[in-house]
Structure formats: C-alpha cells, structure tokens
C-alpha cells in the first residue's frame, strides 16, 4: 500500500441522496457521539465508505514530517473497518456519488505538545461535491486527531450492504474542550503494568478525548523505573522483570505524544517511599522505621535532584507531580538522629514536613518544571507553596474552592466521585461530579485547569484494568470535555449514549464493563451489549 502523497485505502464508498436538517437541543438524544461536542447539526440519510478513501492535506500548513497525522489516519481506518470484510463492487458505483476521502487542514505547522495546546476542530461531512470529501479543520494536529476520532464515531459497518456507513449525514460539528487537563492516573507501584497494557490504556483514552496520563510510577511497594543517576533505586522493583528502563519510559512518552496525550510523571515525597531504601538504606530514617524519607539527610535531596534531572530528559510535560500526601512524621520524631536535627533546626514535625515539600519544589523548579502536589500540602501550609503549584484535590469537596480563592491552580479528583478503585462508585456519580462546584467568579474558574480519574492499583493489574476504568472514566471525560450547558442535568438522559460508547469500546478491543452496575461489574444475563 502506497503511503506517499495522498494516502489511499480500498474500502469503497457509496452515497445515498440526503435531506439536510438542523438539530435542536431536543434531538441530541438521537446522537451517539461521546463526548458530546460543542455544536452539532446532522441529517437523516446515509453515506457508505467505498473504493478509495484517502487522506488529503491540500491547504494545510502542517507538513506532518513526523507522521502523526498519517498514522492517525491509518488508525482511523483500522477502527472504522474493524475486522469486517468489505464486499462492495466499486465498479458499480456512480463516481459522482463517491466520498473520496477526508481533507484535513491544519493551520499551525508545529506539533509541539504542551499544556493548553489548541484542541479545537471543525468536522463536516457534506453530501455534495465533485468529488466529495469529509473535511476537518484544526489549529493544531492534536485538534485534528480529535476530529478524526469524532468522524470514526459517525461510521459503522452495514451488515446488509457489507460496506462502512456514515449515518445521519450530512454532519457539521464544531468542538473544543471545556478543560485543558483531562486526566487518568495509572499506578505501576502496587502492581506492575507491562508496556503493551499501558499502550492499550493510552489508545482507549483517545477514544474519550482524555489527554493526560498521570503515571504514578513508584510508591511504598515498589520502584520499577530505572534512574540512571541512582541505579540502585531499581532494587526496589518487585522482580528483575517487573521494571521499566528509561528508554521504555521515553517510548511511553513518545507513544502518548503522537496521540495528543501528555505524560505526567509522579514521584511521591516524602511519604509513600519505602521502596527507595532497598537500594539506598540511608534514605530511611532507620531500618525499623522506613518512611517518610529522611528529612535530615542531604543525600535524600541529592537523590530527588538526580531523579528529576533524569526525568527532565524524558518527561517533557510542563508539570511534574511531587505527591506530598499522607505523611506520617512519627518516624522522624522517634528516630534519634532526626529528632536531634529537628531540635537543631527549631522544627517540629509539621514544620519539617513543610521544609521537605518546599525544598523538593525548589529542586523541581530548578529543572524547569511547574509542580503538582496533593492537597495536604495546601491544607497544611498553602500560603508557603510556590505560586507555580497546582493543588491536586482528592480528599473531598470544598478544597478547589479554597485553592482558587488563594490564587493557586487546582485539579479535581475527589475520591468519593472520581476514584476508579472505589467499585461502589457508579458512572452516574462520575458524570455528575462538577469541578466548578461553588466557584462562580470567572477568574477563579479559570484556575481549575481540569480533573482526573484515578486508577489506583492495589487490586488492579493487566487482567482487570480496562473494565475497571471503562465506562466510568468516559462519564468523567464528557464532564471535562463538553460545555456545561450541553451536559445532561440528569445522568439517566445519557444512559443509552454511554451504553453505545461502551459497546463501541468493546468492538475496538477495549474490555469496558457494562453500564448497568458499579465498577467492574459483569453482565448479569444473556442479552444485547446495548441493554447491559
């Protein structure tokens, strides 16, 4: 198959005469697009993908030297076609009724992926033209990727005609995200996740337009990532095979970036760090009291500096996550040499906690990062945090309101609503969780950069991660993407559309669970995917 110039694929296309209608809000219940776009109009007839469906980029300022758009186009064809056998006889089609392909016009020549990149796109699928092309216009290639994803959702295989169908044509869609940060946390410390599993998670994120993979790499239990500056940290891995090289981390970043997804790396300090000491025992307060990291030892901060120096070569996202949650300082006060250091400094345990977090922040800033910290840091000493701090809310409601009132940015992940490991939390809870609750001033609303669903790994590994993430993460994804006024006020209104998206994920090989229960529920009885 030739991949130079105009990209072609032999699927075929047949066009049926259509009648264009505009859609009122009441007609959105007929849509099966997830997440819901900003604005949509559609018709009530069908097109069929047929003999030469191609990518055309005439008029685009983006050269696609790295092949991001080309690869996305071929991925689009793969997910649209699935494993169906296309049997249309192209010679029987009237050439004037053939959709020849999709034209993508990108206005920016750059494919740099950074926080706040323009993700806006326009998608149209007309019914007239000689020849006829679907059309995507976007400021950046990453907006164009979203347009291709949406186009994939208006296509389906017609078993009667054996061709790919574009239903409800013609389409006109304008779309952009409500929040710039739409995250999913994965945890590779509690259970190791092989690279193919992580890549499948990244692929599934693109279907729902999530754009930040928060990689909680290390924790108390294990330290699976290679740190070239301090190689013995790898001793904290579960086994010699449950490890990531730094080259593999770079591959995850590259893989995600080509799909428009940032990778946010986290090292959680000073707590949750017992695994660090298996390679460097001096990081422990003592062999009997192994965390938080030893605040009195300068070597502790040299190691953090080395880690962040190595991170800066691979993890190019603007932010790094430094944790800072659930710090039990009793090991500091009960260990003689640290207790002596505290007295010398004139610190109590709480002040030492502040000292540690702020020193780690300064190290991160020196490597060019802005910082994300869990909310305990704000709750304990918010006014002392760097103004480049984003506070990550997880404990409950009201925190975001206080954070933005203090002039800091915030990410919302309150555990009662957006923790995927809470299997009793329903998709309706995920859908209804509003990041801007009780935040009414526009300048404060702008400080809530988005939200994140968290897939903590105590009971999660490669065997069950997908059905624990999906479809509940999709409910949060619509909350984070879709304009507030376009969101359903009652989640029941979107049940059918979410079920349709869940079945779409299944068809694409994603093990999404039924919508008719809490997290990771199994089908109750035989029946259609759409009724489960």
**Closest of 206, 316, 251, 258 to residue 66, by C-alpha:** 258
HSE (side-chain half, CA atoms, 13 Å) at 513:
23
326 is catalytic: yes
**Secondary structure string (H, E, C) spanning 289-323:** ECCCCCCCCHHHHHHHHHHHHHHHCCCCCCEEECC
Q: Give CA–CA dist 415/360, Å, rounded.
A: 25
φ, ψ of residue 200 in degrees (nearest 5) = -65, -40
Catalytic-labelled residue, pool 54, 87, 251, 326: 326
**Closest of 375, 269, 379, 271 to residue 330, by C-alpha:** 271
Q: Give CA–CA dist 480/136, Å, rounded.
A: 22
**Closest of 118, 319, 312 to residue 213, by C-alpha:** 319
CA distance readout (Å), 37 to 21, 28, 112, 433: 18, 10, 24, 19
Q: Give CA–CA dist 360/311, Å, rounded.
A: 14
φ, ψ of residue 220 in degrees (nearest 5) = -50, -40
Whether the CB-CB separation of 230 and 306 falls below 8 Å is answered with: yes
Q: Give CA–CA dist 473/127, Å, rounded.
A: 35
**Closest of 52, 94, 40, 58 to residue 77, by C-alpha:** 52
CA distance readout (Å), 84 to 90, 164, 204: 17, 9, 20
Name the residues annotated as catalytic. 326
């Amino acid at each position: 198959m030739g991949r130079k110039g105009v990209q072609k694929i032999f699927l075929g296309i047949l066009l049926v005469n259509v009648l264009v209608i505009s859609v009122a809000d009441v007609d959105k219940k007929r849509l099966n697009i997830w997440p819901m776009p900003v604005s949509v109009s559609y018709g009530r007839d069908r097109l069929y993908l047929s003999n030469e469906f191609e990518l055309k980029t005439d008029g685009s300022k983006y050269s696609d030297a790295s092949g991001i758009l080309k690869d996305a186009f071929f991925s689009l064809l793969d997910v649209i076609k699935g494993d169906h056998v296309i049997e249309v006889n192209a010679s029987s089609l009237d050439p004037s009724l053939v959709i020849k392909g999709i034209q993508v016009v990108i206005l920016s020549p750059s494919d740099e992926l950074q926080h706040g990149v323009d993700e806006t796109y326009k998608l149209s699928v007309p019914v007239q033209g000689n020849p006829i092309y679907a059309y995507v216009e976007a400021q950046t290639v990453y907006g164009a990727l979203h347009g291709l994803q949406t186009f994939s959702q208006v296509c389906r295989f017609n078993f009667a005609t054996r061709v790919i169908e574009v239903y409800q044509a013609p389409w006109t869609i304008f779309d952009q995200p409500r929040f710039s940060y739409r995250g999913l946390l994965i945890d590779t410390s509690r259970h190791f996740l092989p690279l193919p599993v992580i890549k499948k998670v990244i692929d599934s994120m693109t279907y729902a337009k999530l754009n930040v993979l928060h990689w909680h790499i290390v924790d108390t239990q294990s330290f699976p990532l290679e740190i070239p500056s301090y190689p013995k940290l790898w001793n904290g891995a579960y086994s010699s095979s449950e490890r990531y090289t730094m080259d593999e981390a770079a591959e995850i970043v590259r893989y995600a970036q080509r799909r428009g997804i940032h990778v946010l790396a986290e090292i959680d300090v000073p707590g949750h760090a017992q695994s660090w000491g298996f390679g460097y025992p001096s990081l422990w307060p003592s062999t009997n009291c192994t965390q938080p990291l030893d605040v009195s030892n300068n070597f502790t901060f040299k190691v953090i500096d080395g880690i962040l120096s190595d991170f800066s070569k691979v993890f190019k996202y603007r932010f790094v996550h430094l944790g800072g949650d659930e710090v039990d300082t009793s090991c500091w006060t009960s260990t003689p040499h640290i207790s002596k250091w505290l007295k010398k400094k004139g610190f109590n345990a709480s002040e030492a906690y502040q000292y540690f977090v702020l020193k780690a922040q300064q190290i991160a800033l020196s490597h060019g990062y802005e910082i994300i910290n869990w909310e305990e840091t704000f709750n304990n000493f918010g006014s002392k945090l760097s103004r480049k701090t984003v506070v990550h809310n997880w404990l409950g409601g009201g925190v975001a309101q206080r954070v933005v009132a203090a002039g800091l940015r915030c990410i919302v992940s309150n555990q009662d609503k957006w923790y995927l490991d809470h299997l009793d939390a329903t998709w309706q809870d995920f859908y209804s969780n509003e990041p801007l609750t009780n935040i009414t001033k526009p300048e404060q609303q702008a400080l809530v950069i988005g939200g994140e669903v968290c897939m903590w790994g105590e009971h999660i590994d490669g065997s069950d991660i997908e059905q624990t993430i999906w479809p509940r993460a999709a409910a949060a994804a619509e909350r984070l993407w879709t304009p507030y006024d376009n969101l359903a006020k009652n989640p029941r209104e979107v049940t059918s559309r979410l079920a349709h998206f869940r079945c779409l994920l299944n068809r694409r090989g994603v093990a999404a669970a039924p919508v008719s229960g809490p997290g990771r529920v199994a089908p109750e009885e035989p029946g259609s995917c759409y009724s489960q």
